[in-house]
Structure 1
């Protein structure tokens, strides 16, 4: 746990942080054990001017409140039956966040199978709802800092190549659907979609 990234790590412009998170390790402690994975895919959401962001037009609700706070905190939200996890970014009162879309399993793989069932290993965590279920991340993690247990991010590997493309599942967001704000480790098998 000595490699937990400090709060200062998260004080970067959102697009830079979205790339810097690639290769870092997302770790969750639960009563069942510890599960972790290399972050291999992220999506940046640049708040007030980004029609795909929950905080578009500075929309402040009970759900988005944490995004108006300090960077490096957990923004979880429910999408259908899935909990999705985001890293709050940018400065106070500028509500931006980065969705963690996929991880490559590192620790607690048996625990991930218990939670997700039998399947090819590359399908365990290759999507934002899959990875939260596999790691045991829930809505209860909302608002926690990412720099102390039970949910934190540590140093990992530095990717050789990073690919960039449009974000996924935001068709009704006008020109924002084409912004190249999705980042992934090139050719990693755990990325949710390679295009």
Structure 2
């Protein structure tokens, strides 16, 4: 796992990594058992030049120090009272990252449903705050840890391939200059667990995966 993760992040543009994460398995070995699923939605944030990024214009603090870490460093932060999970992607002190927005649950569904009871199954993990609630991560204790050493990691060997990857502007980016419309959000077309996916656009037979 260690070698695979190092190779996966090594010397590649953040948007390319964000797209390649789609279909890979996010896995958390939590206190009640393993939970996780296939990543279906990501957003890329391009550091100091990106007016929507936490490191815009070189901003650096104790809160966002994880973004300045080596590739695979976990960055957990709170936004509007919800916890979000970001991954540093570039060399140390180059603060670019990827927000994991949504997953399709495949591991520990019972545990995740207990963590976040919802009458509609597709609402379980279709957003970054919802995802963290379902995983059972409601603190920043894993902040600054590395995916290759933490209970929260990415399994590159268990995956599906999207039929189509779509891109759009990032969600919730407002009044941030020319970066508002940048197409840096990537998602599996038709997957019902993608945030804000309209019912008419859901591929309920394939969930957007190649067979």
Residue 5 of structure 1 and its aligned partner are, at CA, apart by 4.1
Q: In structure 2, what is the Cα distance between the partners aligned to 1:75 and 1:190?
A: 23
Secondary structure class of the residue paired with 2:52: coil
Match of 1:6 in 2: 5
Q: In structure 1, what is the Cα distance between the partners aligned to 2:154 and 2:84?
A: 16
Q: In structure 2, what is the Cα distance between the partners aligned to 1:38 and 1:3?
A: 19
Q: In structure 2, what is the Cα distance between the partners aligned to 1:97 and 1:117?
A: 30
Higher deviation after alignment, 68-77 or 149-158: 149-158
TM-score by length of 2: 0.87
Name stretches of at least 5 consecutive residues in structure 2 with no aligned partner: 199-211
Does residue 146 (structure 1) correspond to residue 147 (structure 2)? The answer is: yes
Match of 1:168 in 2: 171
Point out which structure has higher relative CO (alpha carbons under 8 A, 6+ apart): 1
Write the deviation string for residues 43-76 of structure 1: whole angstroms up to 9, x where unpaired.
0000000000000001111111111110111011
> For the Cα contact (< 8 Å) 1:22–1:184, is it kept in 2?
yes
Match of 2:77 in 1: 77
Q: In structure 2, what is the Cα distance between the partners aligned to 1:114 and 1:194?
A: 24
Residue 80 of structure 1 and its aligned partner are, at CA, apart by 2.0
> For the Cα contact (< 8 Å) 1:26–1:153, is it kept in 2?
yes
Name stretches of at least 5 consecutive residues in structure 1 with no aligned partner: none
Q: In structure 2, what is the Cα distance between the partners aligned to 1:45 and 1:178?
A: 13
Secondary structure class of the residue paired with 1:129: helix
How many residues of Structure 1 are paired with residues of Structure 2 in the alignment? 194
> For the Cα contact (< 8 Å) 1:4–1:154, is it kept in 2?
no
Higher deviation after alignment, 143-152 or 50-59: 143-152
Higher deviation after alignment, 64-73 or 43-52: 64-73
Distance 1:142 1:112, change over 3 A: same
Out of 157, 160, 179, the position equivalent to 1:157 is 160
Q: In structure 2, what is the Cα distance between the partners aligned to 1:191 and 1:118?
A: 16
Secondary structure class of the residue paired with 1:114: helix
